[in-house]
Amino acid sequence: MTDLLNHRLALFAQPQQRALLAHGLRGIERETLRVTDAGELAATPHPVALGSALMHQQITTDYSESLLEFITPPVADIAQALERLDQIHRYAYSHLGDELLWNQSMPCHLPPEADIPLAWFGNSHIGMLKHVYRRGLALRYGKTMQCIAGIHYNFSFDERVWEILRQEEGSALSAKDFQSESYIALIRNFRRYSWLLMYLFGASPAVSANFLRGQTHQLEQLDDDTLFLPYATSLRMSDLGYRNSAQAGLTPHYNTLESYISSLAKAVSQPYPAYEAIGTERDGEWLQINTNVLQIENEYYSTIRPKRVINSGERPIQALSARGVQYVEVRCMDIDPFDPLGISLQTTRFLNVFLHFLAFVESPLTSEAEGDENKENFNRTVKEGRRPGLALQRRGQPVGLQAWGLEMLDAMQPVAQLLDAEHGGDEHSQALEVQRAKLLNVELTPSARMLSLLREEKKSFIDLALQQNRADAAYFRARPLSAEQIAEFDALAATSLEEQAQIEATQTGDFGTFVAAYRASTLGNFSI
């Protein structure tokens, strides 16, 4: 599978072309629950000092009012994004009082479902639409599941990289279409090989018993309040995490951008009987945006998404159709509880190598059978990835996880060396070697380290997380921002609040008409 990879690496080994690899953009979206010092979900509203959750571009909320989301602007060097993420944490802690940021993917002790607060975005039509969407999520998936947190890693190439490849390979596609189909090819490979990320970076092998809400399960008991699977890497990404029967039959096709768009357009337009039985309104109160398989495209729980920055009033699939894929969003990464930011620089360097490899290596068209195999490999890894001798399936044949993983790292080595040659130093190669050590010694994986700590400290999942979170809080609070940095964040917060007030003061029409217009844009120019 290395012919195309070797050809492309040789092409970009030329200094002038290699320099383009340093011009792609990277960004991080980090989710984190606000919790009390006792490890309970914070019941307080989003701190107004942090700005408007509706309009702030870097500090917002996700599903719950208590679930913060920190978003770094896209930059060429991920180290700069992590520096900004660090600043956002330090600013947030200056306005959180005694509250802590939960540095785990699986949640803290949660109150009864009814008491988990949904994110509130104000009284504007767009703010209410975001809130109603979350009401729909609560009905469809339950509030507990929505309190799981993760790291999203955004990645793009400089567009000149795609143009060089298009010309070199004599493609008849337009520049826009070649770029889009190349990102789709990357995504196909991601779905083939993302099990490796779950083994290397999965960090949620245990959970509080409170999370299960008394449901039947196959987890083992570690103590009175902690459940686990002995060989699990990421319960967050297992069927204990994001799951839903309506989405079970939704499998977007990743052979072309057009087929991907069509499958999602159908899902946001196709009624689902169980949701139709609930309806969109009851006694004058909105319950969900619509009664279709998906309310909006982003409801589809995928490990990776093709993305395009959208214009005002534009739907994600409309943006993709009109202007093509701009970047990919990796969504399967667990919070790293051993790093205060939830992700380390070394991890991001490896992701850089991994995604370059996926983009440059062959990516044959996929099939339903291969899709099933990919899912099974992923699911097996998240639930028993550390099991000794675990075998996955590759083109219908068994292959050991360890052997396959080491084979992949060997194939990625020239990519790491190319990136190091451009970046300077050996950070990418070193990141690769750290992952190799995890494949050779399973006890070095974050999931194994978490279980070892739980046993050694003789603490519950909640108590151990609290201990770590208090240390993280002290780390951030001991490094207050400069007066200039505080002024910058204060200005961002004030501007966002002013922008929300302006929207609320100037909007016209009623909410029902606004929702109808939004739903009507679902299909846009798509024929299904």
Q: Domain coordinates of the chain in residue numbers?
A: 3-518
Return contacts of 73-79, CB within 8 angstroms, 24+ apart: 73/27, 74/25, 74/26, 74/27, 74/154, 74/156, 74/327, 75/25, 75/26, 75/27, 76/22, 76/23, 76/24, 76/25, 76/26, 77/22, 77/26, 78/26, 78/28, 78/345, 78/348, 78/349, 78/352, 79/345
Proportion of the chain above pLDDT 70, given as a percent: 97
- pLDDT, average across residues 388-399: 96
Cβ neighbour number for residue 522 with a 10 Å cutoff: 22
Q: What is d(CA 96, CA 441) in angstroms, rounded to the nearest whole number? A: 39
Distances in Å between the Cα of 7 and the Cα atoms of 327, 363, 457 are 23, 14, 51
Q: What is d(CA 158, CA 326) in angstroms, rounded to the nearest whole number? A: 10
Q: What is d(CA 447, CA 233) in angstroms, rounded to the nearest whole number? A: 5
- pLDDT, average across residues 190-197: 98
Q: Hunting for tokens 């306005």 — which residue is that?
A: 95
| pLDDT surpasses 70 at 133 | yes
For the domain covering 3-518, report its CATH number: 3.30.590.20
Q: With residue 259 as reference, give the H or E element that holds it.
A: helix 257-267
- Model confidence pLDDT, tens digit, residues 325-384: 999 999 999 999 999 999 999 999 999 999 999 999 999 999 999 999 999 999 999 999
C-alpha angle 361-379-157 in degrees, rounded to nearest 5 = 30
Whether residue 507 contacts residue 517, with contact meaning beta carbons closer than 8 Å, is answered with no
DSSP-based helix, strand, coil % in the chain, nearest 5? 50, 15, 35
- What is the average pLDDT value for the chain, to the nearest integer? 94
| pLDDT surpasses 50 at 524 | no
- Model confidence pLDDT, tens digit, residues 73-116: 999 999 999 999 999 999 999 999 999 999 999 999 999 999 99
| pLDDT surpasses 50 at 527 | no
Helix axes 125-141, 483-506, angle to 10 degrees: 100
Burial class, 417, CB count within 10 angstroms (exposed 0-12 / middle 13-18 / buried 19+) = middle
Q: What is d(CA 337, CA 332) in angstroms, rounded to the nearest whole number? A: 15
* b/e 384-406 (16+ beta carbons within 10 angstroms → b): bbbbeebbbeeeeeeeebbebbe
Q: Which residue has the higher pLDDT, 503 or 523?
A: 503
**pLDDT at site 242:** 62
- pLDDT, average across residues 234-253: 77
Per-residue pLDDT band for 205 (boundaries 50, 70, 90) equals: very high
Instruction: Reduce the DSSP state of residue 67 to 3 states and report it.
Output: strand
**pLDDT at site 523:** 40
| Single-letter code of the amino acid located at 358 | L
Strand 151-155 relative to strand 67-71, pairing = unpaired
**pLDDT at site 93:** 98
C-alpha angle 421-427-428 in degrees, rounded to nearest 5 = 70
Identify the sign of the CA torsion 423, 167, 410, 24: positive
- pLDDT, average across residues 225-252: 83
- Model confidence pLDDT, tens digit, residues 304-331: 999 999 887 788 888 999 999 999 999 9
Whether residue 398 contacts residue 392, with contact meaning beta carbons closer than 8 Å, is answered with yes
Whether residue 386 contacts residue 200, with contact meaning beta carbons closer than 8 Å, is answered with no
Of the candidates 199, 472, 157, the residue with the CA atom closest to the CA atom of residue 333: 199
- Model confidence pLDDT, tens digit, residues 206-232: 999 999 988 888 999 999 999 999 999
| Single-letter code of the amino acid located at 43 | A
Helix axes 3-12, 159-168, angle to 10 degrees: 120
Distances in Å between the Cα of 38 and the Cα atoms of 42, 209, 210, 342, 466 are 10, 16, 15, 21, 8
Question: Going edge to edge, which strands form the sheet with 206-208?
Answer: 206-208, 226-228, 220-223
**pLDDT at site 202:** 98
Per-residue pLDDT band for 62 (boundaries 50, 70, 90) equals: very high
| pLDDT surpasses 60 at 525 | no
**pLDDT at site 247:** 73
| pLDDT surpasses 60 at 526 | no
**pLDDT at site 481:** 98
Q: Write the DSSP assignment of 211-243 as a string of letters.
A: GGTT----PEEEETTEEE-TT-SBGGGSTTSS-
**pLDDT at site 248:** 67
**pLDDT at site 521:** 73
Proportion of the chain above pLDDT 90, given as a percent: 88
- pLDDT, average across residues 441-468: 97
Distances in Å between the Cα of 96 and the Cα atoms of 146, 467, 482 are 22, 18, 18
Of the candidates 316, 318, 322, 321, the residue with the CA atom closest to the CA atom of residue 302: 316
CA dihedral 335, 336, 341, 347 (to 10 degrees): -110
| Single-letter code of the amino acid located at 426 | D
Q: What is d(CA 405, CA 408) in angstroms, rounded to the nearest whole number? A: 5
Helix axes 175-193, 345-360, angle to 10 degrees: 120
Identify the sign of the CA torsion 520, 120, 342, 58: positive
**pLDDT at site 434:** 98
pTM for the model stands at: 0.96
**pLDDT at site 311:** 84
List the structure tokens of 209: 């018993």
Whether residue 524 contacts residue 319, with contact meaning beta carbons closer than 8 Å, is answered with no
